[in-house]
Amino acid sequence: MSMEQELREKAKELLSSGKVKVVIGYGEGSIPIKSTPIFVKTPEQADCLVLNPTCTNNLTVYLPQAVKSGPVAVVAKPCEVKNIVELVKENQIKREDVTVIAVSTPGILNDAALAEFDLLDVKKISWKADGVAVTTSQGDTVIPRDAAFQKKCLSCTAAQPAIADIKIGDWAERAPLQDKFADVEEYEKLSAEEKRAFWAGQFSKCIRCYACRQACPGCYCNECFVDKNGQIWASKDTGAESNWFFHMTRMMHTAGRCTGCGECERACPMGIPLSLMGKKMSLLVKELFGTQPGESMEDAPVFGCYQTNDPDPCPE
Amino acid sequence: MEAKVIAKQDISAWLSSLAEKMEVLAPVEDGGVIRYRPLGEGEMNLNFSGPAKSLRDHFTPETETLFRYKYEGLKAELEESPAEEHDRLIFGVRACDAAALKYVDAVYSMVEPRDEPYFARRERTTIVGLFCNNPAWSCFCTEVGNFLTNPQEMDAGLTDIGDKYYAEAYTAKGEELLSAAQFEPAGAEDAAAVEKVKQKALSRLPAKGAHEEACLSYNWDSPIFPELAEKCLGCGVCAYSCPTCHCFDIQECAQGKKGSRFRCWDTCQFEKFTLMGHGHNPRPSKKERTRQRVFHKFKYSIERYKMLGCVGCGRCISACPVNIDIHAVVAELEKPAPASEGVNNE
Amino acid sequence: MTEQEERTEQVETKENAGWEPKLIGFLCNWCSYAGADLAGSSRLKYPPNMRVVRVPCSGRVNPQFVMKAFERGFDGVLVAGCHPGDCHYSKGNYYTRRRLMLFKEFLEFMGIEPERFKFDWVSAAEGQKFAEVVGELTESVKRAGPFEGVCKR
């Protein structure tokens, strides 16, 4: 049985038994190169669920809202299960309200891999043993894994999730194809001045559409600091400095809950490498406090606790 | 006037000679995205299906200071921002982006007093278009005016016919531009080549005709809106990539005894866009907000300006992080409604 | 004046001769502010470059305060509070320690020299230490030179 069929069967069971009211999964997009989030509410609709290399969205972003109308099942890839862990630990959702359908896929397609294709002619995108097959009117073309998959997938080890109610796919631990932090290391070779120049270039592009924030499961505040009209900490102007202030604050707010799913960067229409900052945050959290977001249900949220022997600015 | 041709290798010489007289902007590659930027800020890239950003920020900037103030005791000084005073030319503009200006003009013409900063920019800008050879998957301009065969708001338009561009002028400004030394009269074979290119481009676009008639009877209670609301993230990618979206917010920036008032982009997709001071929000959920965007483009615009508010550039479709496809939404809305459901326009 | 123009103006002013760093210090009411007082009443000499903002506890220091200071063109920032274990509110400084230790590293990642940000403990009895801390920060900021803004163009 293919992963997709297995997913549909499980979704049908969950819905017909009444265990959940809705299954959040992926459906066919408006064109075969895209998939789209769908909210499956009846067993019959479960056949609309798809699972293929285009299933890129982090669906856990919908959970805090979705659980308000009853128990929910959600399709989550290994990096996204971590977001659920954080949402539960931070009391945004209750563990018992969420059925986690953890799916370990070979990897998710990176949009740039399709650059050479006529996107109107792509009929189907599917997994093959050694990569991703793109079906066009000319037949199948297989893109090898390291060119086909998103960076985060190339460094994925498919480690056992901290929570899962249903597991689909191959959960055998795998060797990462790429070092997750290679780009961070490369960036850190820059001088302080070069770093600021780099971000000046990046942040001058930001148009404040807030797609990064909206796509982020860690950004669940009812009212974002940038939307407050009373005390204006972050100006709405789009100067590089104001944008710097917005992104810096967002990074501090998501520190310790950013699992590196990369949705912020994918959602950004201006191509700002936001996950570079997120990755550094996760490295720092690990180095300073010894925890990794979403890896255990026991660790307290990183800024919601302290140890008396935490790293100190002037150790005795 | 007669059509002209210009060899591809002469384009940069031509643009450079123009740059002596005015600012020249073109689609340049800048950090992985293509934007209309001043020449020299990156490598010009003319093989794009649509820049990441439309022309919008060149006419209604993302942040635009309206005036500055300072005060000391009871004495206050106000200083208005000076109007744009330099001429510029935007090269390589897609037909849809140029057509969008006609719509935005109509919006700004409705209000008094006249928006001087906007019209100053419009009047000082020359637009040289570049027609599409290879429309993107998300393009649907054939359904909203077909700007490939019906150019709007361009002073001149170029078509890529292999090793040269075929050029036509549509205004006196355009004619003057095409009288430059680099241009030669076009031959019959050039015109034939253009025809071929256009037919090929059109074959990639939806064949369906214009929407105007159907739009007025869109179903306010269509079940598609609650569906969209479920998956819409509530970001502003669609509106901020849209060439006809024009909504703005007014904000102030105060520092001690001085400050400025500026306008910046805003969108109906944000919750706070319609939130009122006393706490009521007439568009409280994403259902109302996604509907507003579709209805504004396709229905209210016809009622108000007698033209569609969408130019079919497809940016909102390709940029949407959750694949909300306005083209598919409109197709859904145009399916005949079941007889039992009435049309309720509030 | 837009924030951006304001910043440009500030940088231009700094390029003039005789530049002195402009520092801001967030001091906890119970320890470090009292420590600063003691430094003053003991007539200790330390550089006059710092503007002091008194906060009820170092736990009140939102990283945004520091970001805003840098965004608005301060050359250096100090945050000081009670020593761990001595917080007037028993644990405020433990929370702030987590936050600011991370933030300090992150600032460096974003290209803001570590010389510009100092985070330290100063008790009410440490007038001498307060003078030293301000002196060290002033010196290190002087070495780093005028701050050109969070985004260098």
Sign for the pseudo-dihedral over CA of B61, B309, B103, B177 = positive
8 Å CB contact between C66 and C23: no
Structure confidence at residue B42 (pLDDT): 79
- Using the Cβ of A313 and the Cβ atoms of chain C, whether some distance falls under 8 Å is answered with yes
Q: What is the mean pLDDT of chain A?
A: 94
Edge-first strand order for the sheet with A22-28 is A35-40, A22-28, A72-76, A98-104, A166-169
Task: Answer whether residue A117 is part of any domain.
Answer: no
- Which residues, at least 6 apart from A271, have a Cβ–Cβ distance to it below 8 Å? A205, B31, B32, B33, B52
Task: Answer whether residue A289 is part of any domain.
Answer: yes
Query: How many pairs of residues across B and C have Cβ atoms under 8 Å apart?
Result: 15
Structure confidence at residue B345 (pLDDT): 47
Q: Which residues in B lie closer than 8 A to residue A227 (C-beta atoms)? A: 270-272
Structure confidence at residue A316 (pLDDT): 67
Per-residue pLDDT tens for B153-188? 999 999 999 999 999 999 999 999 999 999 999 999
Task: Answer whether residue B281 is part of any domain.
Answer: yes
- Using the Cβ of A277 and the Cβ atoms of chain C, whether some distance falls under 8 Å is answered with yes
Q: Which residue range(s) make up the domain with A293?
A: 181-311
pLDDT higher than threshold 80 for residue C12: no
Q: Of B185, B208, B231, which one is at a domain's C-terminal end?
A: B208
- Using the Cβ of A237 and the Cβ atoms of chain B, whether some distance falls under 8 Å is answered with yes
- Using the Cβ of B36 and the Cβ atoms of chain A, whether some distance falls under 8 Å is answered with no
Q: Which residues in B lie closer than 8 A to residue C72 (C-beta atoms)? A: 255
Matching residue, tokens 């007289």: B21
Same domain, B252 and B187: no
Same domain, B22 and B124: yes
In chain B, pLDDT over 90 holds for what percent of residues?
A: 75
Cβ density class C44-60: b for 16+ within 10 Å, e for less: bebbebbebbebebbbb
Same domain, B139 and B104: yes
Task: Answer whether residue A258 is part of any domain.
Answer: yes
Same domain, B135 and B239: no
Same domain, B305 and B171: no
Q: Which residues in C lie closer than 8 A to residue B259 (C-beta atoms)? A: 1
Residue C34 is which amino acid? A
- Using the Cβ of C117 and the Cβ atoms of chain A, whether some distance falls under 8 Å is answered with no
Q: List residues in chain C touching B: CB distance below 8 A.
A: 1-3, 6, 72
CB contact under 8 A, B259 and C1: yes
- Using the Cβ of B185 and the Cβ atoms of chain A, whether some distance falls under 8 Å is answered with no
Task: Answer whether residue A229 is part of any domain.
Answer: yes
Structure confidence at residue C134 (pLDDT): 97
Matching residue, tokens 């006037």: B1
What Rg value do the Cα atoms of chain B yield, rounded? 22
Per-residue pLDDT tens for B195-230? 999 999 999 998 876 676 778 788 899 999 999 999
Q: Which residues in C lie closer than 8 A to residue A289 (C-beta atoms)? A: 98
Q: Which residue range(s) make up the domain with B37?
A: 4-208
The structural domains of chain C, with segments of one domain joined by +, span: 28-144
Query: How many pairs of residues across A and C have Cβ atoms under 8 Å apart?
Result: 128
pLDDT higher than threshold 60 for residue B244: yes
The answer for C 9-68 residues in CB contact with A (under 8 A) is 63-64, 67-68
Residue of B nearest to A120 (CA): B137
Average pLDDT over residues B328-334: 90
pLDDT higher than threshold 70 for residue C58: yes
Average pLDDT over residues B81-101: 91
Reported confidence tier of residue B346, pLDDT bands at 50, 70, 90: very low
Same domain, B276 and B195: no
Task: Answer whether residue B346 is part of any domain.
Answer: no
Matching residue, tokens 């997009």: A29
> Which of B267, B272, B322 has its CB closest to that of A36?
B322
Strands B63-72 and B75-80: antiparallel
- Using the Cβ of A9 and the Cβ atoms of chain C, whether some distance falls under 8 Å is answered with no
- Using the Cβ of A266 and the Cβ atoms of chain B, whether some distance falls under 8 Å is answered with yes
Q: List residues in chain B touching C: CB distance below 8 A.
A: 63, 65, 68, 253, 255, 258-260, 262
For residue C57, the distance in angstroms to the closest alpha carbon of chain A comes to 16
User: Considering only CA atoms, which of B129, B134, B66 is closest in space to residue B97?
Assistant: B129
The runs of H, that is alpha helices, within A155-273 are 182-188, 192-205, 211-215, 240-254, 263-267
Structure confidence at residue B216 (pLDDT): 79
Neighbours of chain A (3+ CB pairs under 8 A): B, C
User: Considering only CA atoms, which of A214, A265, A202 is closest in space to residue A238?
Assistant: A202
8 Å CB contact between A183 and A262: no
> Which of A33, A209, A229 has its CB closest to that of B237?
A209
Per-residue pLDDT tens for A269-304? 999 999 999 999 999 999 999 999 999 999 888 999
Average pLDDT over residues B49-61: 86
Task: Answer whether residue B339 is part of any domain.
Answer: no
Task: Answer whether residue B38 is part of any domain.
Answer: yes
Name the residue with higher pLDDT: C56 or B255: C56
Same domain, B219 and B145: no
Structural domain total, chain B: 2
> Which of C94, C103, C112 has its CB closest to that of A306?
C94
pLDDT higher than threshold 90 for residue C18: no
Residue A224: how many other CB atoms lie within 10 Å: 18
Structure confidence at residue C137 (pLDDT): 97
d(CA B265, CA B62) in angstroms, rounded, equals: 5
Task: Answer whether residue B297 is part of any domain.
Answer: yes
Same domain, B145 and B19: yes
The answer for B 134-163 residues in CB contact with A (under 8 A) is 136-137
Structure confidence at residue C13 (pLDDT): 60
CB contact under 8 A, B63 and C6: no
Structure confidence at residue B122 (pLDDT): 94
* Of the listed ranges A13-22, A56-65, B131-140, the one predicted with least confidence: B131-140
Per-residue pLDDT tens for A111-161? 999 989 999 999 999 999 889 999 999 999 999 999 999 999 999 888 889
8 Å CB contact between C86 and C80: no
Neighbours of chain C (3+ CB pairs under 8 A): A, B
Structure confidence at residue B339 (pLDDT): 56
d(CA B211, CA A215) in angstroms, rounded, equals: 32
Residue of A nearest to B236 (CA): A209
Per-residue pLDDT tens for A74-113? 999 999 999 999 999 999 999 999 999 999 999 999 999 9
Structure confidence at residue C1 (pLDDT): 44
Same domain, B90 and B152: yes
In chain C, pLDDT over 90 holds for what percent of residues?
A: 84
Q: What is the mean pLDDT of chain B?
A: 90
Cβ density class B245-263: b for 16+ within 10 Å, e for less: bbbbeebebeeeebbbbbb
Give CA A159 to chain center in angstroms: 16
The answer for A 221-260 residues in CB contact with C (under 8 A) is 225, 233, 235, 237, 239-242, 244-245, 248-249, 251-252, 255
Structural domain total, chain A: 1
Give CA A267 to chain center in angstroms: 10
For chain A, strand residue ranges (E) read 22-28, 35-40, 72-76, 98-104, 124-128, 131-136, 139-144, 166-169
CB contact under 8 A, A203 and C151: yes
Neighbours of chain B (3+ CB pairs under 8 A): A, C
For residue B195, the distance in angstroms to the closest alpha carbon of chain C comes to 46
Per-residue pLDDT tens for C100-137? 999 999 999 999 999 999 999 999 999 999 999 999 99
Same domain, B195 and B225: no
Average pLDDT over residues B138-142: 93
Structure confidence at residue A168 (pLDDT): 96
Structure confidence at residue B112 (pLDDT): 87
Same domain, B192 and B219: no
Task: Answer whether residue B86 is part of any domain.
Answer: yes
Matching residue, tokens 């909210």: A39
pLDDT higher than threshold 70 for residue A59: yes
